[in-house]
Chain A
Amino acid sequence: MNLTSIDWAIMFVYFVFVLGIGFLLRQKVKTSTDFFLAGRAIPAWVCGLAFISANLGAQEVIGMAASGAKYGIATSHFYWVGAIPAMVFVGIFMMPFYYGSRARSVPEYLRLRFDEKTRGLNAISFAIMTVFSSGISMYAMARLIQILHVLDGPFQRLGIPQHWIFHFSIAFSALIVLAYIFFGGLTSAIYNEVLQFFLIVAGFLPLVWLGLKNVGGWHGLVQKLPSSYSHSWVGMGSPQTNPLGVEWFGLVMGLGFVLSFGYWCTDFLVVQRAMAADSMSAARRTPLIAAVPKMLFPFLVILPGLIAVGLPTKQISTPSAPMSVSRASSPEHHAYGKGLIPAKINEATGQPQLDQNGKAVLDYDLAIPNMLLHYFPTGILGLGLTALLASFMSGMAGNVTAFNTVWTYDIYQSYIRPNASDAHYLWMGRVATVFGIALSIVAAYAATRFNNIMDMLQLVFAFVNAPLFATFLLGMFWKRATGHGAFFGLISGTAAAAAHHGLTLPTGAAPGIKGAWLGTILHTYPSEMAQNFWTAIWAWTTCFAVTILISLLTRARDEKELVGLVYSMTERPSEEHLAWYRRPAALGLAVIALTLMLNLIFW
């Protein structure tokens, strides 16, 4: 990659602003509430943009383009069936309890509503997960910088060995994120997330524009792709007739209901952004405001993937894009690729990896990076790369701020040192930021050594997360649910997820990390995605049933204690005084109507 001084100048300006925000906010952080909850003083639109930006990490930008290249516009289900309905639900129905109960974190809500052990289970598993997620983000970023040869030139000029690029990338990103969170806390993270949001849009919008112009607009693109690529619902009747390999019921229940509601409604990483809002109505509007750009993201992140596969394969050997994997530049390997997507190269042999049918395995994750290299000349290329770096950092920072809050309030204050002064917890929050990032670095290096361990951890996290929404749903809307019920419901939901995964297998996979590790195969799913969705459905249903059963067998809590925590015991927040477009219910309806329209347009 040939970067010139203009590209470096743009990156430099970005880092100056990122650090500048942290520095300017330094004096404003006086109490632990300022640090962990941004003083509950952030306007709704800022919270809303941070709400999606915290989730707009590398997984989103790179992963959704990859998925678009692999499956086509059906990837939009992750938005128009998955995220949006869940975001509307959390804003209208759940935020009154999160914000109204004055809980400082999601695990703390669980303690107020249920009991200490339910909170402990959630807090500890969440803390471990955030540290690993931020480590994985860090690792992915350092790998990408290596693969794209971003720093090869400067390192050569300075006479530093090339293998230091990885270490440098890790250390650099860690220091930047550390600096701005250490000083400014959540406010700084939120402000930077909003900055990153605009930067990501500014970096990818011209990419989509140039790409679409090149292929002859949407209609030109459709003609270059198999017909399944341009329809999201056609063929969803049976797993055999659509690229995802899932039938509509598994999709709507597994992805749309269990997984998406589980993430957007219970994950403190995103809910924390709404808790920082300056009023109840602002907190409720946060996810609804976030839903508007979120429903348009498919055009920003999925379309580049479609364009990347739609382009003629030959163009890949232009000199500006001798891409990626260092040894892959010999032209005969490009024949294995598709459009701008190269084949995965076996690191040991230098040959393209082939699947069982002798077809090349494509490296879809390179869709976005290769699109940037293909269309952007120096100058705007610096902007595109900065946007990519920004997306990695916002993912990392989101995890770190969620970690330091849960660690300090739910673990340190609860089990290690209760009743200390507020200044002490503020200090602890800063210390937690440092060791949270240090642990992420350890996780990033663990990922380089043991790839399988990372896959396994992510699998375990999926088991832990799958049943969560059942617990929150019952907790908020059924006053009879008890702490014992919630705790054992969660445990059995996780166990059910593990058991289901251990007894089933996607077609064509070998028993092991992909499933069937319990020895017997009870069912074979048409795709890995179908297996994931059904694992989630089983986990949720088990947790739901067990929670109800055990709750009915255990003693109910006094109703007076549940005021502000359960729907039937809480007064509805009044919104009479608000203009109609500021009322959460009206906003929610508008968002749902627009989403429905998008589903119909791309049916």
Chain B
Amino acid sequence: MGLDIRLPIGGLFTVIGLLLVSYGLLAGKAIYQASLGINVNFWWGLVMLGFGLIMIMFSRRADQRSTR
């Protein structure tokens, strides 16, 4: 249908991942009492960022294959 769904998924996860990672680096440690002392913003943000980038990569590779 023209639009590869992996691109918006990758985009959304990359943006949210970046937001969470930077917030995890900047915000104070006090808020992580709820999450058992784990900086869950940073770590989960990193996971989402990784997933997002992989999705974008897949969609670009499929794109190159179809234009070739």
Contact = CB atoms under 8 A, between A and B. Distances in A.
Interface of A: 6, 9-10, 13-14, 17, 20-21, 24-25, 28, 38-39, 41-42, 46, 187, 191, 194-195, 198-199, 202, 206, 210, 213-214, 320, 374-380, 383
Contact of A39 (B1, B8, B35): B1
Interface string B16-53: 10011001100100011111101011001000100100
A17 B13 CA distance: 10
Given A46-B5, A210-B35, A214-B36, 19 more contacts: A10-B20, A21-B8, A25-B1, A28-B3, A39-B1, A187-B1, A191-B3, A191-B5, A191-B8, A195-B9, A195-B12, A202-B13, A202-B48, A206-B40, A210-B36, A376-B35, A377-B33, A377-B41, A379-B40
Interface residues of B, number: 28
B2 A10 contact: no
A378 B27 CA distance: 10
Interface of B: 1-3, 5, 8-9, 11-13, 15-16, 19-20, 23-24, 27, 31-36, 38, 40-41, 44, 48, 51
A380 B12 contact: no
Given A6-B19, A213-B36, A380 B44 contact: yes
27 contacts: A6-B19, A14-B12, A17-B11, A21-B8, A28-B1, A28-B2, A38-B1, A41-B1, A42-B1, A194-B9, A195-B8, A195-B9, A199-B12, A202-B51, A206-B40, A210-B38, A213-B36, A214-B36, A320-B34, A375-B34, A376-B34, A377-B34, A379-B20, A379-B31, A380-B41, A380-B44, A383-B20
B30 to A, nearest CB: 9
Contacts of B33: 377
A516 to B, nearest CB: 47
Contacts of A21: 3, 8
A320 B35 CA distance: 12
Contact of A377 (B5, B9, B16, B32): B32
Contact of B19 (A9, A20, A214): A9
Contacts of B15: 13
Contacts of A195: 5, 8-9, 12
For chain A, what secondary structure do more than half of its interface residues adopt (helix, strand, loop), or is it mixed?
A: helix
Given A195-B9, A202-B13, A320-B34, A380 B40 contact: yes
A463 to B, nearest CB: 38
A24 B36 contact: no
Closest 5 CB pairs of A and B: A377-B31, A379-B41, A17-B12, A6-B23, A379-B23
Contacts of A202: 13, 16, 44, 48, 51
A375 B35 contact: yes
Contacts of A6: 19-20, 23, 27
Contacts of B20: 6, 10, 379-380, 383
Contacts of A194: 5, 9
Contacts of B36: 210, 213-214, 375
Contacts of B31: 377-379
Contacts of A374: 34
Contacts of A38: 1
A91 to B, nearest CB: 21
A390 B23 CA distance: 22
A21 B8 CA distance: 8
Greatest chain A CB density within 10 A among B31, B33, B48 is at: B31
Contact of A24 (B3, B16, B24): B3
Contact of B27 (A14, A41, A379): A379
Contacts of B19: 6, 9-10, 13
B27 A198 contact: no
Contacts of A206: 40, 44
Nearest to A320: B34
A69 B11 CA distance: 35
A10 B40 contact: no
Contacts of A46: 5
Contacts of A39: 1
A9 B1 CA distance: 30
B16 A383 contact: yes
A68 B9 CA distance: 30
A20 B1 CA distance: 15
Contacts of B51: 198, 202
A279 B34 CA distance: 48
A305 B62 CA distance: 40
Given A187-B1, A380-B40, A20 B16 contact: no
Nearest to A198: B9
A182 to B, nearest CB: 17
A206 B12 CA distance: 18
Nearest to A9: B19
B40 to A, nearest CB: 5
Contacts of B8: 17, 20-21, 191, 195
A304 B8 CA distance: 29
Nearest to A374: B34
Nearest to B21: A379
A276 B23 CA distance: 40
A446 B34 CA distance: 39
B10 to A, nearest CB: 10
Greatest chain A CB density within 10 A among B15, B24, B35, B38 is at: B35
Contacts of A187: 1
A157 to B, nearest CB: 21
Given A191-B3, A195-B9, A10 B34 contact: no
B3 A210 contact: no
A479 B54 CA distance: 50
Nearest to B42: A379
A198 B54 CA distance: 14
